C-alpha cells in the first residue's frame, strides 16, 4: 500500500477508524493456530455495508488484499492477512438488528458473538445452537461453517443461515436467500457463501434460524479401559437411534489436562461426555439409561449420570477450555490441531490410527472431539525451536488427514481450510477443486479477498 492509499481510506472513514499502529497490526497478525503471524498494512473498522462497499471498490481498483476479521479465535489462520494489505475488523458491526420469536429467527450483524446473541435470545426461550466453545463472532462462524459440541443433534452453522447480505470484491452489495424456512428456488447461493472464509465476499447482515431451549437436560460421563472401546460405544449409540445433544470423546491426556485446569477429580481414562435434552424428564432419563446399557456392553467401568446443574456446567466449561488446559501441560510448545471427520463406522479405525501415528513419530498430544458425528481432533504438540520435532509433527498430521480422506472423510470437519488444509484439497475434492477455483475467479477476478486461503 502507498501513503496515498492510506490517505484515501482515512478520508473515507476518518483517521480514528483507519489504524496503522504497531500494536494494532500485531493484534491482527495471528489467530489461535500454530501458523506464523503476518501483519497487515492497515486495520479498518467499518460500521456499515455502505462503508464496506466503498472500501472494497477502492481496494479492488488498486488490487490491495482485503481480509475480514471477526474475533481471531480460528484454528487455521483463516483471518490472517498473509499478503498484508487491509484487515477489516468487523467488531463495530455488532448489532442484533431484529428478533422474530414467532418465526424462530434473528437478524444480526457479523460482529455479534454467539454468546451475546444467546444471552439476548434466552428471554424468548430460544437459542442459536452452534457452539464452537470460543467466543466467536457470528460472521466468523458463518465464514468457517463452525460446529461444536452440539453438532450431533443440532448440526453446524450452515444449517441455520437463511439469508445473507454480502459485499462482493467490486463493492456490489448482494442479498441472497430469504426468511422462508424452505425454498427450492434457484441455486443455493447462501450455501456457497457459508464456509467460504471471506474469499468470495464479506457478510454485513445474517438472518439465522433458531431453536427452542429444551426444558430438561441430563448429562453423564462414562469411563472406559481403552480408547477403542469408548469409540465403539460412540458408534453403537449413534446407530441405536438415540439422539444425544452432545457426545464427546476425550482420551486420558484430555482428562489429565481438565483435572489440572479445573481442579477436578475425574478418572484419567478414555471418557465420553454425554448430554440428552428434551421437554419431558422421563424421556431424557430413558435415553440416558439406554446409553448407559450400550456403554456397559462395551466395557465401561464407571457411568456417572447423577450430575446437578452446577456440576454439569463445570463439566462442559472444562471441555470448552480443553485446548488451553492441554497447552498449560505443554509449556513452550505449539500445537497442530487435526480436525478430520469420517463416516461414523470408521471412527474407531481413525482413533486407533491417530494414536498409532503419534507413537510412531514419538509425539504426544490429546485425542478428543465431537465423536457423535465422526469429527475428532488431535492436538499434536511440538517444540517450535526443534526442526526435527516440528517435521515429525507435520508428518503425523499429514498421515492422519490423508487416512481420513481415504476412508471417505474430510480434511476439516469444522475449522475450515485456511492455510493448513490447502495441501489436502485436491486429494479430497478432485476435479471439483478446479470448479471452486473458477467460482472464486468469477466473484473475485483480481484475487483481493483473503488471498492465500483455500487455494495456494
What would the pLDDT profile of 54-111 be if each residue is shown by its tens digit? 999 999 999 999 999 999 999 999 999 999 999 999 999 999 999 999 999 999 999 9
DSSP letters of 131-169? B-SS--BHHHHHHHT--BTTHHHH--GGGGEEEEEEE-T
How many Cβ atoms are within 10 Å of 434's Cβ, its own excluded? 10
CB 437 within 8 A of CB 422: no
| CATH 3.40.50.1820 holds for 329-421 | no
Q: What residue ranges in 252-402 does DSSP mark as E strands? A: 271-278, 302-304, 334-341, 367-370, 375-382
Question: Where exactly are the structural domains of the chain?
Answer: 3-91, 96-212, 216-323, 329-421
| pTM given for the model | 0.94
Q: What is the full DSSP assignment across 404-429? A: HHHTT-BS-SSS--TTTTGGGHHHHH
Backbone conformation region of residue 103, classed left if phi is above 0, alpha if psi is from -120 to 50, else beta: alpha
Q: Which fold has domain 3-91?
A: 3.30.43
| Helix/strand/coil for 250 | strand
The pLDDT value recorded for residue 307 is 63
C-alpha grid cell, residue 381: 504438540
Neighbours of 10 (CB within 10 A): 17
- Quote the CA–CA distance of 406 and 156 in Å, as a whole number: 23
The pLDDT of residue 92: 97
What pLDDT does residue 310 have? 74
CATH code matching the domain that covers 96-212, chosen among 1.10.3720.10, 3.40.1390.20, 3.30.465.10, 3.20.20.240: 3.30.465.10
What residues contact residue 221 under an 8 Å CB cut-off, 6+ apart?
266, 271, 272, 273, 274, 302, 303, 304, 307, 315
Judge if 3-91 and 96-212 fold alike in CATH terms.
no
Q: Which CATH class is domain 216-323?
A: alpha beta
Nearest to 371 by CA among 399, 404, 343, 396: 343
pLDDT, tens digit only, all 456 positions of the chain: 899 999 999 999 999 999 999 999 999 999 999 999 999 999 999 999 999 999 999 999 999 999 999 999 999 999 999 999 999 999 999 999 999 999 999 999 999 999 999 999 999 999 999 999 889 999 999 999 999 899 999 999 999 999 999 999 999 999 999 999 999 999 999 999 999 999 999 999 999 999 999 988 888 999 999 999 999 999 999 999 999 999 999 999 999 998 988 888 889 999 999 999 988 888 888 999 999 999 999 999 999 986 666 777 877 888 888 888 898 889 999 999 999 999 999 999 999 999 999 999 999 889 998 989 999 999 999 999 999 999 999 999 999 999 999 999 999 999 999 999 999 999 999 999 999 999 999 999 999 999 999 998
3-state secondary structure 432-447: HHHHHHHHHHHHCCCC
CA angle 75, 78, 81 (to 5 degrees): 125
Tell me how far apart the alpha carbons of residues 170 and 23 are, in angstroms, rounded to a whole number. Answer: 30
Amino acid at each position: 500500500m502507498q501513503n496515498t492509499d492510506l490517505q484515501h481510506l482515512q478520508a473515507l472513514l476518518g483517521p480514528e477508524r483507519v489504524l496503522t499502529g504497531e500494536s494494532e497490526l500485531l493484534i491482527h497478525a495471528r489467530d489461535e493456530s500454530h501458523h506464523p503471524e503476518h501483519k497487515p498494512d492497515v486495520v479498518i473498522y467499518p460500521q456499515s455495508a455502505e462503508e464496506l462497499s466503498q472500501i472494497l471498490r477502492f481496494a479492488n481498483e488498486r488490487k490491495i488484499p482485503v481480509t475480514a476479521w471477526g474475533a481471531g479465535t480460528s484454528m487455521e489462520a483463516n483471518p490472517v492477512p498473509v499478503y498484508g494489505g487491509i484487515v477489516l475488523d468487523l467488531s463495530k458491526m455488532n448489532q442484533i438488528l431484529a428478533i422474530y420469536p414467532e418465526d424462530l429467527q434473528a437478524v444480526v450483524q457479523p460482529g455479534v458473538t454467539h454468546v451475546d446473541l444467546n444471552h439476548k435470545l434466552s428471554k424468548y426461550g430460544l437459542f442459536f445452537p452452534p457452539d464452537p466453545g470460543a467466543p466467536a463472532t457470528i460472521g466468523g462462524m458463518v465464514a468457517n461453517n463452525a460446529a461444536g459440541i452440539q453438532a450431533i443433534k443440532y448440526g453446524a452453522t450452515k444449517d441455520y443461515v437463511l439469508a445473507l447480505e454480502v459485499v462482493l470484491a467490486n463493492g456490489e452489495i448482494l442479498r441472497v436467500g430469504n426468511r422462508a424456512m424452505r425454498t427450492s428456488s434457484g441455486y443455493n447461493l447462501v450455501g456457497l457463501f457459508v464456509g467460504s472464509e471471506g474469499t468470495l465476499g464479506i457478510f454485513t447482515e445474517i438472518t439465522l434460524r433458531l431453536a427452542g431451549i429444551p426444558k430438561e437436560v441430563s448429562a453423564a460421563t462414562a469411563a472406559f479401559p481403552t480408547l477403542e472401546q469408548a469409540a465403539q460405544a460412540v458408534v453403537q449409540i449413534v446407530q441405536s437411534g438415540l439422539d444425544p445433544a452432545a457426545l464427546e470423546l476425550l482420551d486420558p491426556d484430555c482428562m489429565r489436562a481438565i483435572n489440572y485446569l479445573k481442579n477436578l477429580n475425574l478418572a484419567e481414562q478414555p471418557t465420553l461426555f454425554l448430554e440428552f435434552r428434551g421437554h419431558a424428564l422421563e424421556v431424557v432419563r430413558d435415553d440416558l439409561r439406554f446409553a448407559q446399557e450400550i456403554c456397559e456392553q462395551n466395557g465401561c467401568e464407571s457411568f456417572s449420570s447423577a450430575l446437578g446443574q452446577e456440576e454439569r456446567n463445570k463439566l462442559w466449561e472444562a471441555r470448552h477450555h480443553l485446548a488451553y488446559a492441554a497447552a498449560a501441560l505443554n509449556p513452550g510448545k505449539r500445537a497442530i490441531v487435526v480436525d478430520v471427520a469420517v463416516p461414523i463406522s470408521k471412527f474407531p479405525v481413525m482413533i486407533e490410527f491417530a494414536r498409532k501415528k503419534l507413537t510412531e513419530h514419538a509425539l504426544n498430544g490429546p485425542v478428543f472431539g465431537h465423536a457423535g458425528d465422526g469429527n475428532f481432533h488431535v492436538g499434536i504438540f511440538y517444540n517450535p525451536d526443534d526442526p526435527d520435532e516440528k517435521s515429525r509433527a507435520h508428518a503425523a498430521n499429514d498421515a492422519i488427514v490423508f487416512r481420513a480422506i481415504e476412508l471417505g472423510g474430510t480434511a476439516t470437519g469444522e475449522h475450515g481450510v485456511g492455510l493448513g488444509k490447502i495441501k489436502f484439497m485436491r486429494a479430497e475434492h478432485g476435479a471439483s477443486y478446479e470448479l471452486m477455483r473458477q467460482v472464486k475467479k468469477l466473484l473475485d477476478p483480481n484475487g483481493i479477498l483473503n488471498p492465500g486461503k483455500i487455494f495456494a
